[in-house]
Amino acid sequence: MRNKKTQCTDLLRGALRILTFATFMGAQTLSGQSIWEGGDVENGQSLFDENCGSCHKVTNEVLAAPGLAGIKDRWSSSDEILVQWIQNPQGAAATGDAYVKSLVERYVGTYGWMSAQAVSADDVRDIMAYVQNPPDVAADVATAGNGCVNIDEVPVSETKDGSTLWFLTLLVLFLVIALSASGVNRSLTNTLREGQGQEPLEDLGYLARLKGWAWNNMVFVSVLGLFVVAYAVVQGYSALMGVGVYEGYLPEQPVKFIHSVHVCENEVDCKYCHHSAYESKHAGIPSTNVCMNCHKAVKKGKRYGEVEIGKIYAAIGFDPESGTYLDGDGNNGYAAPQTSFGGEPIKWNKVHNLPDHVYFSHQQHVVVGGLQCQNCHGDVETWSAGRIASVDHINTLVDKYPGLIQLSKPTLTMGWCIECHNKASIDLASSEYYEEMHNRMKDDVRGNEELRRILEDDKITVKELGGWECSKCHY
Ligand code: HEC
Ligand code: HEC
Ligand code: HEC
Ligand code: HEC
Ligand code: HEC
Ligand code: HEC
């Protein structure tokens, strides 16, 4: 015997079935093929990121819900129920479908109900295409949230060409041969003299022998000498103008600080950590206190867990468990997990380092010159550790950074500085001083050939203002 209540529920069930059927028809009429085929992976990825990515991963990993890897093999119910589950999970459960029932039993207790998603059947097809063909794991690691890229492996450019080495080797080889030849010559002469009952020649030192040999081969030695001098001049010139001795330099750092995590993923401005670039000659490296503004709370990283962030705590004397600083001197005996780093300030290795005789000011370039950091350092937002960007790489960034000045000489060489000073023009409106000077120059211009030339193209370069004078850059 069935009571009224069950009859009522049956009726409701029936109504739901019809509804489900309608949805099913809807799904079918959208396009008559299987939900697992013919989807657009790219569109699926963006739909997934937008609607599903906050709870699901495309791998087996659990986020706020089970991962969706292998869903096609697992989903033993119909396509239509899948679409319905995504659009309205509780509605799908109400159909009494066996797979959905097992799903609810397994997960709802742990994760709660999945929320209903405003996606169409075609959207689900695209999403499933993406879930079944996720980008390979390597690409997944390289591309963190918000499409941020991290270039951990950059090609480190050749720093020295082999020609110097070859030249030196040949020179040494030649000298050795020449000297031993003269040595052999001497012993032959001595044997001869002994045979004739004469005194052997006194045994000369290498230097004396060299002198004697040079004296006897004057023309050859002069030519060789000229050659060596010319070689030194050429080498010296190319060192100034640009053999890339710095580009690509990427030293190991005591803490695996990752620029891309901070600048790109978490949108921290360069200024937050390198604010002195706007105020002084130096850009500077942030002190550990600056790191602690955030890392007092952020105790774990996605890539290195507690290990790398733990080094900051070890350096400054902070106990992450209790959230307190230990004694005042920062030496507290707290050891970061799995490291031997303890109680020492972080000693960052310098990456950029111009010779002492060169004067360079960040403020002059960033504030007065209005240059972007990327014009000289490249796309730091994709970096892990600090590295010296190559000029070829910087040149590829023009589309991303409008106004970027393209150069050809390797970064940090004198050729690079002066090439830019020849190309970069000064924004006269940027300061009253320049405007005033410009106006006075315009008044003076008649009869002054040099001034006329400077103002001819209506553009004043850094060079024209004295940016090529040795004393501007050299102490
Ligand atoms: C708010 C979190 C949340 C969002 C957003 C979400 N889901 Fe779910 N999903 C869950 C949970 C939780 C489960 C496990 C069942 C349950 O507890 O409801 C689940 C289960 C599933 C299942 C079944 C998994 C299996 O192993 O059979 C599929 C398929 C699914 N979701 C697809 C999607 C799709 C596609 C989207 C985006 C359009 C999406 N989900 C968005 C939380 C979510
Ligand atoms: C403005 C806030 C902020 C500042 C300042 C800051 N960080 Fe971070 N840092 C973060 C955030 C957010 C994360 C990301 C945590 C995650 O992976 O979810 C992070 C992650 C890290 C990681 C872990 C990376 C990983 O994936 O394991 C390290 C190491 C790190 N920071 C070092 C530093 C150092 C060293 C400083 C100081 C020079 C510093 N941070 C300054 C916010 C900051
Ligand atoms: C015109 C080119 C140029 C621009 C623009 C520029 N830098 Fe630099 N940067 C350099 C040079 C050259 C050095 C090496 C200075 C030295 O060794 O004395 C350097 C060094 C650095 C250093 C190492 C620490 C130091 O002070 O020597 C940091 C950090 C830095 N720059 C950050 C920045 C940031 C952040 C910006 C943007 C706000 C920026 N730079 C803009 C050329 C530039
Ligand atoms: C959260 C703090 C933080 C932010 C934000 C940050 N940096 Fe850095 N930067 C560091 C630390 C710490 C180092 C030293 C470790 C290293 O070289 O990797 C560094 C190193 C550098 C170096 C190399 C320094 C040297 O020794 O020559 C340059 C250049 C640089 N940063 C430029 C930038 C630029 C440009 C931005 C913005 C796009 C930026 N940084 C944003 C913390 C930061
Ligand atoms: C990307 C272009 C660029 C590069 C590279 C560059 N500079 Fe400059 N530099 C400028 C600009 C623009 C100004 C003018 C700023 C202004 O408006 O006064 C300037 C001005 C200067 C000045 C002041 C000149 C004056 O007349 O007062 C000095 C000194 C200087 N730079 C040194 C250097 C050194 C040293 C290097 C190489 C290590 C270098 N610059 C690399 C663009 C550059
Ligand atoms: C715009 C800035 C700038 C100007 C102007 C400039 N230099 Fe330089 N110079 C540099 C830089 C930067 C270096 C270091 C390059 C390197 O180490 O490769 C350098 C290096 C040198 C060296 C090599 C020293 C060594 O350690 O090998 C000599 C010599 C030199 N400059 C002479 C001059 C003379 C002479 C002038 C004037 C005609 C001049 N420079 C003008 C920026 C400049």
pLDDT over 90 percentage in the chain: 25
Ligand 1 site-directed mutation target among 46, 48, 114, 131, most atoms within 8 Å of CB:
114
Question: Residue 256 in contact with residue 384, Cβ under 8 Å?
Answer: yes
From the CA of 293, how far away is ligand 2's center (Å)? 10
Ligand 2 site-directed mutation target among 256, 259, 268, 291, most atoms within 8 Å of CB:
291
User: For residue 201, what pLDDT is reported?
Assistant: 67
Task: For residues 316 and 296, give the distance between their C-alpha atoms in angstroms, rounded to a whole number.
Answer: 11
pLDDT over 70 percentage in the chain: 76
User: For residue 239, what pLDDT is reported?
Assistant: 63
Q: Whose CA is nearest to atom 40 of ligand 2?
A: 291
- Atom of ligand 3 minimally distant from the CA of 285: 29
Mean pLDDT across 328-352: 59
Residue 473 near ligand 6, beta carbon < 6 Å: yes
From the CA of 114, how far away is ligand 1's center (Å)? 5
Question: Residue 61 in contact with residue 117, Cβ under 8 Å?
Answer: no
Cα 326–Cα 328–Cα 331 angle in degrees, nearest 5: 65
Question: Residue 409 in contact with residue 416, Cβ under 8 Å?
Answer: yes
Mean pLDDT across 242-251: 67
Highest mean pLDDT, choosing among 134-138, 195-199, 384-388, 391-395? 391-395
Residue 264 near ligand 2, beta carbon < 6 Å: no
- Atom of ligand 2 minimally distant from the CA of 309: 29
135 Cβ contact partners less than 8 Å away, ≥ 6 residues apart: 143
196-233 pLDDT, tens digit per residue, is 777 766 666 777 878 888 888 888 888 888 888 888 88
User: For residue 245, what pLDDT is reported?
Assistant: 61
Residue 371, phi-psi category: left (phi > 0), alpha (psi -120 to 50), beta (remainder)? beta
- Atom of ligand 3 minimally distant from the CA of 372: 5
Question: Residue 240 in contact with residue 414, Cβ under 8 Å?
Answer: yes
User: For residue 149, what pLDDT is reported?
Assistant: 76
User: For residue 177, what pLDDT is reported?
Assistant: 76
Q: Whose CA is nearest to atom 21 of ligand 3?
A: 283
Task: For residues 23 and 83, give the distance between their C-alpha atoms in angstroms, rounded to a whole number.
Answer: 9
Question: Residue 56 in contact with residue 63, Cβ under 8 Å?
Answer: yes
51-96 pLDDT, tens digit per residue, is 988 778 887 776 678 889 889 888 888 999 999 999 999 999 999 9
Return the sign of the alpha-carbon dihedral for residues 382, 385, 391, 393: negative
User: For residue 126, what pLDDT is reported?
Assistant: 94
Assigned token pair, 86? 């995504």
Residue 71 near ligand 1, beta carbon < 6 Å: yes
User: For residue 407, what pLDDT is reported?
Assistant: 93
Task: For residues 134 and 142, give the distance between their C-alpha atoms in angstroms, rounded to a whole number.
Answer: 14
User: For residue 249, what pLDDT is reported?
Assistant: 77
406-443 pLDDT, tens digit per residue, is 999 989 999 999 999 999 988 766 667 777 777 777 77
Assigned token pair, 339? 């490291």
Task: For residues 156 and 127, give the distance between their C-alpha atoms in angstroms, rounded to a whole number.
Answer: 39
Cα 460–Cα 464–Cα 469 angle in degrees, nearest 5: 150
Q: Whose CA is nearest to atom 12 of ligand 6?
A: 414
Assigned token pair, 293? 């503004």
Ligand 6 site-directed mutation target among 246, 405, 422, 474, most atoms within 8 Å of CB:
474
3-39 pLDDT, tens digit per residue, is 444 444 554 454 444 444 444 444 443 456 889 988 9
